[in-house]
Structure 1
């Protein structure tokens, strides 16, 4: 038996704000959408255009408060060829939430405060 990664899920409060963030900050684009028949939820899958792994954003119509992320000890990680360019973009977007210069990495936070680790291609 062999398992392969499929997707990760983040629940989001403001779907449009999240879609804008993920496209601008990481270049992720919508690859699939599912809207419930009663419109009580929307699932949007974002892809990087190179791998089959996706990020599923879940929007719930009746959810009105920020999600409780606990201690937020989980995160996604993405590699980027132009690390300095990415860093400058994220600095401009004011979404860098943690830097570890010794390790040569940093984290950004999305509109719902999910953390995303940014690594250079060679790490």
Structure 2
């Protein structure tokens, strides 16, 4: 039996704001959308155009308060070819929330405060 990664889910308060952030900050594009018949939820899958792994953003109509992310010890990780350029871009966006210069990584926070780790591409 072999299991393979499919997607990760983040629930979001403002779907449009989150879609704009992920496209601007990481270049992720919508690849699929599910709209509930009664309008109670929308699920949008974002892809990087390279891998088959998706980020699933779920918006719930009746959810009105920020999501409890606990200690925020979970995260997504993406690697980038030009790490220094990405760092400067995210610094300009004001979304860097944590840096670990010794490890050569940093994290950005999305509009709901989910953390995304940015790594230099392995050569």
TM-score tier after normalising by the smaller chain length: over 0.9
Looking at structure 2, the residues matched to 55 and 108 of structure 1 have their Cα atoms a distance apart, in angstroms, of 15
Looking at structure 2, the residues matched to 89 and 20 of structure 1 have their Cα atoms a distance apart, in angstroms, of 15
Counterpart for residue 69 of structure 1: 69
SS of 2:49's partner is coil
Alpha-carbon shift at residue 85 of structure 1 (Å): 1.0
SS of 2:19's partner is helix
SS of 2:37's partner is coil
1:32 matched to 2:32? The reply is yes
- Unpaired runs of at least 5, structure 1: none
SS of 1:87's partner is helix
Alpha-carbon shift at residue 67 of structure 1 (Å): 0.3
Aligned pairs, number: 123
Counterpart for residue 6 of structure 1: 6
How far does the alpha carbon of each residue in 1:34-90 deviate from its partner, in whole angstroms, 9 at most, with x for none? 000001000000000000000000000011010000011100000000111110110
Alpha-carbon shift at residue 122 of structure 1 (Å): 2.1
Q: How large is the Cα RMSD of the aligned pairs?
A: 0.8
TM-score by length of 1: 0.98
- Unpaired runs of at least 5, structure 2: none
Looking at structure 1, the residues matched to 42 and 121 of structure 2 have their Cα atoms a distance apart, in angstroms, of 33
TM-score by length of 2: 0.98
Matches within 5 A, 1:38-77: 38-77=38-77
